[in-house]
Amino acid sequence: MPYVIAAPCIDVMDKSCVEECPVDCIYEGDRKLYINPKECIDCGACEPVCPVEAISQDRRVAAEHADFVEDNRRFFVEALPGRDAALGAPGGSHKTGRVGVDTPLVAGR
């Protein structure tokens, strides 16, 4: 997974990263944004525009946010609460719109 959005995004969701992403791979949950690991091209355009420094490469995530590497993947591969199926890789967040639900890790914070 090239880039991950961690805890500082929760309840902030500035969305500067969404505007900067050239492949539309940043999806909106209820309280946090998530980067689709199958769609991300590892360009890094999202990282410097995040005002709360929530975005980093998966191998550079701060130790206190390590759980968000797997959690970011989980958002796309598991059926989230209230959804019948996993989101998968639908080919861009503009196609799906706001997902409106978070992983249990984020929902429980």
Query: Distance (Å, rounded) from C-alpha 9 to C-alpha 52?
Result: 7
3, β-bridge pairs? 57
**Domain 3-93: CATH architecture, name and number where available:** 2-Layer Sandwich (3.30)
Domain boundaries, the chain: 3-93
Q: What is the pLDDT along the chain (109 residues), one digit of tens a residue?
A: 589 999 999 999 999 999 999 999 999 999 999 999 999 999 999 999 999 999 999 999 999 999 999 999 999 999 998 899 999 999 999 999 999 999 999 999 8
What's the pLDDT score for residue 2? Answer: 84
The one-character DSSP state at 79 is: P
State in Å, rounded, how far the first CA of the chain is from the last one. Answer: 23
| 67: enclosing H helix or E strand | helix 67-77
Q: What is the pTM of this model?
A: 0.95
Which residues touch 85 (CB under 8 Å, ≥6 apart)? 79
What's the distance, CA 51 to chain centroid?
Answer: 15
Cα separation values, 21 from 85, 106, 108, Å: 25, 22, 28
